[in-house]
A and B are shown apart, each in its own frame.
Chain A
Amino acid sequence: MKLKAWVGQLFGESQLANASSEPSSSAPTPLLESLQSNLAQIRQALGDSGDIVIREFKAGKTQGIPAALIYTDGLTDSAKVQDMVMRPLMLATDEHIDLRNETTERVKNQLLTIGDVTDIDQFQTLYGSLLAGDTVILFEGAATALALDARGWKERSVDEPTTQATIRGPKEGFTETIKTNIGLLRRKIKSTDMRIELQKIGRLSQTDVALVYINGLAEESVLGQLRHRLKHIDIDAVFESGNIEEFIQDDTISFFPTILNTERPDVIAAGLVEGRVAIIVDGTPFVLLVPALFTHFMQSPDDYYQRADIATLIRMLRLIAFFLALLAPSIYIAITSFHQEMLPSPLLISLTAARSGVPFPVFVEAFVMELTFELLREAGLRMPKAIGQAISIVGALVLGEAAVQAGLVSPAMVIVVSLTAITTFVIPSISLAVPIRILRFMLMGLSAMFGLYGIFIGIVYIMLHLNTLRSFGVPYLKPYAPFVLGDQKDGVLFRVPVWAMFLRSFAVAKRNIVRQRPQQTRERGEG
């Protein structure tokens, strides 16, 4: 927490330590028996917000007692409220409504045809469930309210994930609603051992956050740490899992991600059965998975859905792409400006001819081109789809073609930059592609100053850094450092066929590690 204090000091926020965060909420107040005073209190607390609907009516067919139905417009399924709440209440016989002391109990047990009903006896709880979308019923003379789950709002349907497309594999992706997301996971793992711990984070946003794991597989130490870290988050609002990620990651000063995020339920489900823990945040389709190691970011769900030999080759290709994306421009700079003797003569001549007339040093050339590419990429992200094509035209024609024609940039450099651009997109995880992009520039600087020597220093430093990283206590480079032989079956380079993966990854799971029982496999083989 030294860092936190230091940042605060840096930006002159130290004197704000004692300032209050929000208007302090009052102490828990019990509900009253009088309907009108309850309603008055609620109106005042919610400040007569326009989306809060208070419907007063008489419950009971003949006599009836005054009652009020409160819900938040936009979060409630009004058809449900009509059919399952209003209708039974208003048509109820006196028998159900008459006995004042037991009104709520009877209504709950005999009238309401709705699943999830809870008793509320405090104003604060009432506000909480009301704003979360519940419908609240108050009766005259009862100090207990009923909260009915008649939630229903406009929700995006389960679509194909846009960020992680695969050729083969499930086409469903998480949505913004936590319930749907948990449901998607349940559909994949129908085990009694799958546990879901719900909690709310964010003083104002009251965002639902679910911790999902498989009991007996998830490591207690990881779970404990995760619960501890989540508990200590004290912030006004959480809108995306990225907010949570920043709070709970092990190492803040690092470009490398130590928490995996994905839109794909199959990735999360596979992670759960490996003994990892998922964190679902309401309001975002991006679900977090911890611990996340370097190998996990280099793996794509496709790897497990196609044949092992093909997956292995593709993983090798991906590793080549990783190094090219990281090193291609810096090696080009180093070799062309320091180590010309390393090139075969004909290649040297071609490169020299391509560079003749280029007015900038190769580093400046590379830097400008890489920067341009990053700009194009960023611009392409923000562009509305309709004019997105303009960017590619400007990028390809104006910058690429024209710059070469004008002799400002050598064609060889355009090839190198395109190569890095392509290879960056080969890396399956965007959160790993980002550090590569940043480090690429740093390595370019090092190579421009010190040649290959500088690149090696940079690589050594990156390796040292990666070795210091932990993801919830698990070394980031496991199973390579520390080396775990068994885990090489499914690492950065290889994937053995599924029938040969007898055990769960040692990197995460420590107990109950058997995935398939070998004798069963043998039987199948004989059959």
Chain B
Amino acid sequence: MKLPNRFGRLLLALALLLVATGCWDRHELNNLAIISAIGFDKHGDKIRVTVQVLDPDEVAGTTGGGAGKAPVITYEEEGITVDDAFGRLTTKAPYPLYLSHVRMVVFGETLARGGIAKVLDFLSRDRQMRTDFYLVVAKKRTAREVLGIFTQIEKIPGNKLYSSLRTASQEWAPVQETLLIDVINDLVNKGKQLVLTGVQIEGDEKAGGTPKNNENIRSIARLSFNGIAVFKSDKLIGWLTENESKGYSYIRDKVKRTIGNVACGQEKYVSLKVIRSETKQSVRMEGGEPIVRLRVEIEADVNESTCDIDLEKDEAIAELEEESARKLNQLIDSSINRAKRMKSDIFGFGDLLERNEPGYWRAHQDQWQTLFPELEVETEIVYRIRRIGTRTNSLLKEMEE
């Protein structure tokens, strides 16, 4: 067959584009229901999906902005699977649901107690989902309730939760940021159990769902992060307290910066700002039993002091360091003890064993749940106080003198 001429060849080449795969799902921007947060709840034996769809006009529009309308609208629907529910949601949403800009996924506590794996399959399989959103558990609440609260300053609740979780996880040890990939890794990994940060509603949640919430200086209801939810496999089995959560963060080497307090008398404290924290985990075998060793190195600044101690003296600082280390040790111990009681290896010690003592791990991985509570953990803490800020002694101390 004769090859067509130049023009014909060009046409043929262009025709190839038509059968090529690529970008075929064209949607105009204003014909998308952009979802900023998704909530999952258990409803009977079905899954209830709550989506927060952005109203861009209300958020960024030039006309009519700030008219007190809600910046997001939630739609909810039940289904036997997540996708089933999403299918039904299209009967309510004005446009195709668009999942690429989801910032937050919230699990209701009931659903979490029943297991979250069913939901995760959809999240990790759907091609629109990105992997940079955070997952949290609504503490003692349904996700639906959490997603029904007006937020202040950052008007989009999904974005508000995202940015405050991001900030808190860097500045406040008891809060953890968890991405989808972490959740999935933890679920399939036998040597590490999943934890998720909890989100809670403070205040009157009924009024929090109305624009009135944003009209007051003291908002009627607020969303805040609190505590870490401990999972065994994909089921929530309990919550860590704030101190236990802190300990958890130190053990997992997740602390970027945080605040630690040391008591030094009746209602007198020194607050230390941790500016650097590094935890090294190691394991050694003794008599056929593994012993986990944690070495935590902390650098901190004195941020506040109401104590009588004389910060000008090196001995006082050394004493403070010692006291802080002791306090931290307590936090870590309480955290480990709690996890042992719940029989859930949230610290990934099993993982550590698998990497360092693969022989032992292969032989015992199936009994790890029962072995973990017996595990001996040694802690070594090196606490260094670097700076004491722009004054030396406590103002209270100087007043007394």
Contact = CB atoms under 8 A, between A and B. Distances in A.
A353 B60 contact: yes
A345 B26 contact: no
A272 B275 CA distance: 66
Interface string A229-257: 00000000000000000000000000000
Contacts of A358: 30
A218 interface: no
A392 B336 CA distance: 74
Interface residues of A, number: 31
A349 B154 CA distance: 13
A250 to B, nearest CB: 16
Interface in A422-459: 446, 448-454, 457
A345 B36 contact: yes
B17 A457 contact: yes
A340 B59 contact: no
Interface in B61-82: 61-62
Interface stretch (A42-50, A312-320, A330-338): A330-338
Contacts of B56: 349-350, 352-353, 356
B30 A356 contact: yes
A216 B60 CA distance: 67
A356 B31 CA distance: 9
Nearest to A339: B23
A450 B27 contact: no
Nearest to B32: A340
A303 to B, nearest CB: 36
B128 A341 contact: yes
A362 interface: yes
B28 A350 contact: no
B29 interface: yes
A341 B100 contact: yes
B34 interface: yes
A334 to B, nearest CB: 7
A340 B98 contact: yes
Contacts of B60: 349-350, 352-354
Interface string B146-170: 0000000000100100000000000
Nearest to A6: B5
Contact of A340 (B57, B61, B100): B100
Contact of A337 (B22, B29, B34, B36): B29
Interface in A326-377: 334, 336-341, 345-346, 348-358, 361-362
Contacts of B159: 345-346
Contacts of A451: 22-23, 26
B15 to A, nearest CB: 12
A35 B342 CA distance: 130
B29 A352 contact: yes
Nearest to A345: B101
Contact of A352 (B25, B26, B32): B32
A341 B17 CA distance: 23
Nearest to B23: A451
A8 to B, nearest CB: 17
A450 B22 contact: yes
Given A341-B100, A345-B159, A450-B22, A352 B34 contact: yes
B384 interface: no
B54 interface: yes
B61 A453 contact: no
Contacts of B29: 336-337, 340, 348, 351-352, 355, 362
A337 B59 CA distance: 21
Contacts of B32: 340, 352
B153 to A, nearest CB: 14
A353 B59 CA distance: 8
Nearest to A461: B13
B144 interface: no
A101 to B, nearest CB: 67
Contacts of A339: 23
A360 to B, nearest CB: 9
Interface in A253-296: none
B103 A452 contact: no
B1 interface: no
Nearest to A347: B60
Residue of A349, A356, A452, A454 most packed against chain B (CB within 10 A): A349
B130 interface: yes
Contact of A353 (B22, B57, B128): B57
Nearest to B13: A461
Contacts of B20: 450, 453
Contacts of A349: 34, 54, 56, 59-60, 156
Contacts of B62: 353
Given A355-B28, A356-B57, A348 B17 contact: no
Residue among B28, B34, B156 with the most chain A CB within 10 A? Answer: B28
- Which 7 residue pairs across A and B have the least CB separation, nearest first? A451-B23, A341-B100, A453-B22, A353-B60, A352-B56, A353-B56, A338-B23
17 contacts: A334-B23, A336-B28, A338-B23, A340-B27, A340-B34, A340-B100, A341-B130, A345-B103, A346-B159, A349-B54, A349-B56, A352-B32, A352-B56, A353-B60, A357-B30, A451-B23, A454-B23
Interface of B: 17, 20, 22-23, 25-30, 32, 34, 36, 54, 56-57, 59-62, 98, 100-101, 103, 128, 130, 156, 159
Given A449-B17, A450-B17, 14 more contacts: A334-B23, A338-B25, A340-B32, A341-B100, A341-B128, A345-B36, A349-B59, A350-B56, A352-B34, A352-B60, A353-B59, A358-B30, A362-B28, A453-B23
